[in-house]
Amino acid sequence: MADITLAEFNGRVWLVGGEAHLHPLLANTLAKNVSIELLRCERLSDVTDLWVQHCGKPETEGMPWQIHPDIVARIRRRSPDYAVFFAQWSALLDQDALTVINAAITWARENPAAPVVLAEYVDPFGPKAIADLSRLRTQLIEDKLTASGIGTNRITRARRDIDGGAGMSQESQRVDIIVTAT
């Protein structure tokens, strides 16, 4: 689990986990070892569910802290992990997906010794068709990476089980490009 968990819905982002890091997050003084996870939610209620789950806050306490878009942009630049989202039952690399992939390519080129992991999220008890679709999505991303000059020797794959928690229904629609500086 990440030190800080952010939930995104409809272009807005809230801090739903890691309130102890709120002030350093806002002041841009976070230690480099503080991890940040950004989860995309399908409904606003998923944001609240994540907040209750991660912070133990009762739903009657209102909403979590909303994070300013400029701070979210700074967080996205800080994070070497890139989430590529797909529409349901689609493997189409839309403009948002290509933007994320290109940002990961840029980072990987600037850090040529860094390994690149493609993490797909699959329900181990789900239908084979969904696992096949996830593999296709991952392959399309790998093809874009290698076409841009990222060597196949740097790319590995990881499969992560969907745990069924709040906000996880979107996980099967995503592939993460994880790059870590060595």
Q: Does 60 or 82 have the greater pLDDT score?
A: 82
Model confidence pLDDT, tens digit, residues 145-175: 999 999 999 999 988 776 544 344 455 678 9
State how many domains the chain has: 2
Q: In 3D, which of 90, 86, 48, 42 has the Cα closest to residue 65?
A: 48
Query: Do 113 and 92 lie in a common domain?
Result: yes
Q: Give the pairing of strands 4-9 and 36-40.
A: parallel
Q: How far apart are CA 32 and CA 181, in angstroms?
A: 12
Model confidence pLDDT, tens digit, residues 22-70: 998 888 888 878 888 888 787 888 888 888 888 776 666 777 889 998 8
Per DSSP, the residues of 147-181 read HTT--GGGEEEEEEE----TTGGGGGGEEEEEE--
Q: What is the pLDDT of residue 77?
A: 62
Structural domain of 53: 1-79
Q: Phi and psi of 175, rounded to 5°?
A: -130, 130
Query: Do 22 and 54 lie in a common domain?
Result: yes
